[in-house]
Amino acid sequence: MDGNESRIQNECRDIKEGDIVKWFELYHEGIVKNGGLGAVLQKREIDIGGPITFIQYEIWRFQKNDIMIFGPAEIEQIEETNN
């Protein structure tokens, strides 16, 4: 087993740059404080050493017209519908 096989990531979804997502601001208890729609501008993989790689997403929040950083637990991929 090489080093890449033992790496653990804190997300398993296939969210990529350009995707439209639902974002959530959470209280410390995990209760949703605020939410809305946004676009993924950048996906960052942060290697802190050891077996864990943290993932962060830079999201342009449409309603607030700003850019915020969210973790995988704070965004959801939007299901595309075929009309």
Report the domain count for the chain. Answer: 1
Tell me if 10 is assigned to some domain: yes
> Any idea which of 48-52, 54-58, 59-63, 67-71 has the lowest mean pLDDT?
48-52
| CATH number of 70's domain | 2.30.30
Tell me if 71 is assigned to some domain: yes
Q: What is the pLDDT of residues 5-52, one digit of tens each?
A: 444 445 556 899 999 999 999 999 989 999 999 999 999 999 888 888
**pLDDT at residue number 82:** 66
Tell me if 52 is assigned to some domain: yes
Domain boundaries, position 70: 3-77
Tell me if 17 is assigned to some domain: yes
Tell me if 14 is assigned to some domain: yes
Residue 68's CB is within 10 A of a number of other CB atoms, namely 14
Give 3-state DSSP helix, strand, coil % of the chain, rounded to 5. 10, 50, 40
pTM attached to this predicted model:
0.77
